[in-house]
Structure 1
Amino acid sequence: MRALGWAAALLVGSSGMAATKPMLQVAPPAPAPALQGRLEGPFELHSRFYPGTVRRYWVYVPRNYDPKRPPNLLLFQDGQRAVAAQGSLKVPAVLDSLIAQGAIPATLGVFVTPGNLSARYPDDLGMENPNHRPQEYDALSDDYARMTLDELLPAVAQRWRFAADPRRRAIGGTSSGAIASWTVAWRHPDAFGNVISFIGSYTSIGLKLGPDGAPVAYGGDTYPGLIRKSPIRPIRVFLQDGTHDLDNEHGNWFLANQQMLKSLEWANSHADAEKVAGPRYDVKHAWTEGTHSDADGGAILPDVLRWIWRDQPARN
């Protein structure tokens, strides 16, 4: 297994104990370099799964894109922040640099915003969140996955080809975008075999109570229990969170991410002990000293992508 460069000592596998490891300190983001590939968009998408909403998406097309050799796919949530030249993530520039180095395979990047309740996507939102984000990202239903698989990706595929193999597809995001990505892969591992989760909101944002106080919809804090009590999916997942992340009425983010990690590790060890045939979760994590910010995830994203695609030839 290839180490993650300078972060290797701070990333532990399924048998590691995060509490004994030093926290990762990261540098501020550098300006994004000029792309060798190109960023197309924004395009608008109206969804029948979320009537009355509109979302934007952008597509990064690598310089060596060849429709006869469909590239890998990276789908990233909160696309308005993922593509922002002044933001912390700069995902198109990261892809561009890694592909040029031959460090990862050619990869098509798709960056999609949450929906906004309007006929047109507001031009003045900038990097702010559209107003339908919690209803889409923090719900545990299949609606967001169906929008992704039945509407967004077919719209992209009208112009660009990309891999069908879930092992060559990754989905990721930050905060509620991370749990949305996990939900898509958890429900459809046949579509996405890799998840990038930065400061994931595995908390009770999506919890809704009825008049009698009983839950009528559950939140992301139920995932650790679901993972422990469900068959293992063939998913490779990278988790990052900061020790100074949020602690509020929805939950404690750092604790929630640690619970996710321990549940994935337990599922693997339990399956091994019971000699259960089938897949195991392939999981790595980085606990940093950061807050509820994209900055730490953006700083380690190149190493994360190398890890995600580590067993695939560059094909460049």
Structure 2
Amino acid sequence: MAIITAHPAIAQLPIRDPHTPGYVTATELPDGVNPSPDVDGNFILGPTHPPAPESTGVPQGTIYHFTMASKDSKIYPGIARDPNTFGTVDPADPARLIVTTSHPAPYSRQVTVYVPKQYVAGTAAPFIVGADGPDNLLFTVLDNLIAEGKVPPMIAISIGNGGGDAQGSQRGLEYDAMNGVYAEFVEKEVLPLVESKCSLRLTRDPSGRATMGGSSGGSCALIMAWYHPELYHRVLTYSGTYVNQQWPYDPSTPHGAWEFHEHLIPEGPVKPLRIWMEVGDQDLFNPNVMRDGMHDWVVANEKMAAALAAKGYSYQFVFARNAGHVDHDVKKQTLAEALEWLWRDYRR
């Protein structure tokens, strides 16, 4: 879904209580306090969200920009959904959306790369891949954390999406599809350009590779690592779209990313993943025509936390009070701690 970065729109959405029956048991922290990067588990923040000191300042590393065009991609030639159209619910299956207004269309995307001043030329660097770029806050926070020695000197690769949103769009095809295609696109078409245009080397070690994103970019971050754990072991998500939004329909995962907490995590073997997640108390709830019981972002993230705990995953889950969808204030408060937690066991 589209990212909401300000508070005014969230008043129209229900406010969820983190102590609701069926939600995970969580530790309520004093207002303004983040959970320690040394612990796993479930935590409640808010209602105010002061920015972390690491979220301010101007990055001292180097920022590179380049553009990728759909005509140069062998994996994503480009699609778009007609303006002001969405889709219709399959009368035989309320969990399936039929989209007839999607068609081939060109796109271009921006790629922005942060290289810390501590990077040693010629060495294979750890890195984090982020969706819906550019993410200037990520660059600032990393710059401060690296200088403080709290995370390793790493490259940040912030990739713009191919346009549109949800079913039938290029962004939806990239981020919501339950397969490894987007990770393969990044591996085969984005990372080689990053290495050549920025004159650097990226590690091939999955423990030195992370993914992150918000909303559908968040579910994409987990999808990348889930289907390619040989490429990524670390995942960071804000308001992850762990709901039924996949398109085209795939019978192997009929409920889209809802399948993560419904079947894939509970019934599958534990994968070598480390996962940080956040959701807001006023996050998205049934924002479209599908009434399949699988479009509540808060419930989806609560179910994710429960599924990860039951399987023994290393994870940290933050429930933010007074917060909307991919809430920018919450991100400014928590991103530094989240990155420190995500990388705390990294050994170079």
Task: Evaluate the alpha carbon distance shift between residue 36 and residue 247 of structure 1 in structure 2; reply closer, same or farther with a 3 A threshold.
Answer: same
Report if the CA contact (8 A) 1:71-1:162 is conserved.
yes
Once the two structures are TM-superposed, the CA of residue 207 in structure 1 deviates from its matched residue by 5.5
Contact 1:137 1:177 in 2 (8 A): yes
Distance in 1 between residues matched to 2:335 and 2:153, nearest whole Å: 16
Hey, what's the Cα distance between the residues in 1 that align with 2:139 and 2:248? 36
Asked if 1:189 is matched to 2:216, the reply is no
Change (3 A) 1:183 1:22: closer
State the shift of 1:6 in Å: 3.5
Identity between Structure 1 and Structure 2 (%): 29
Aligned structure 1 segments of 4 or more residues deviating by more than 4 angstroms: 9-12, 21-24, 28-32, 207-210, 214-217
Taking the TM superposition and a 5 Å limit, the aligned residue runs for 1:143-292 are 143-158=181-196, 159-206=199-246, 218-224=255-261, 225-248=263-286, 249=288, 251-268=295-312, 281-289=313-321, 290-292=323-325
The aligned residue for residue 126 of structure 1 is none
**Do the aligned partners of residues 148 and 44 (structure 1) sit closer, same or farther apart at CA in structure 2, a change above 3 Å counting?**
same
Question: Per-residue CA shift, 1:18-43, capped at 9, x if unaligned?
Answer: 6xx56563136898522211111033
Change in Cα spacing, 1:215 to 1:264, as seen in structure 2 (3 Å) is closer
Partner of 2:26: none
**Given that residues 46 and 320 in structure 2 are in contact (C-alpha distance below 8 angstroms), is that contact kept between their aligned partners in structure 1?**
yes
In structure 1, the residue matched to 2:101 is: none
| Letter paired with 2:318 | A
Unpaired segments of 5 or more residues in structure 1? 84-89, 118-130, 269-280
Deviations 1:107-163 (A, max 9, x none): 10100011149xxxxxxxxxxxxx521121111122212111111112212232122
Residue 9 to residue 181, structure 1, CA distance change in 2 (3 Å): closer
Q: 2:133, 2:333 → 1: CA distance?
A: 17
Q: Deviations over 1:36-86 (max 9, x none)?
A: 111110332542111134321011010111133322201110013x13xxx
Code of the aligned partner of 2:346: Q
TM-score for both structures, normalised by structure 1: 0.77
Q: 1-side partners of 2:130 and 2:187: how far apart?
A: 14
Whether the aligned pair in 2 keeps the contact of 1:203 and 1:221 (CA below 8 Å) is: yes
Q: Which has the higher contact order (CA 8 A, sep 6+)?
A: 2
Report the residue type matching 2:260 in the other structure. Answer: Y
1:65 has 2:108 as partner: no
Distance change (3 Å), C-alpha of 1:245 and 1:68: same
Contact 1:24 1:286 (C-alpha < 8 Å) held by counterparts: no
Q: TM-score normalized by structure 2?
A: 0.71
- 2:130 aligns with 76
Equivalent residue number for residue 42 of structure 1: 66
After superposition, the Cα gap between the structure-2 partners of 1:11 and 1:203, relative to the gap in structure 1 and judged at 3 Å, is farther
Equivalent in the alignment of 1:133: 171
The alignment of Structure 1 onto Structure 2 pairs a total of residues equal to 272
- In the TM superposition, what are the counterparts of 1:286-301 in structure 2 within 5 Å? 286-289=318-321, 290-295=323-328, 296-301=330-335
CA distance 1:11–1:285, change in 2 (3 Å)? farther
Q: Which amino acid aligns with 2:33?
A: W
Unaligned runs of 5+ in 2: 1-28, 79-106, 289-293
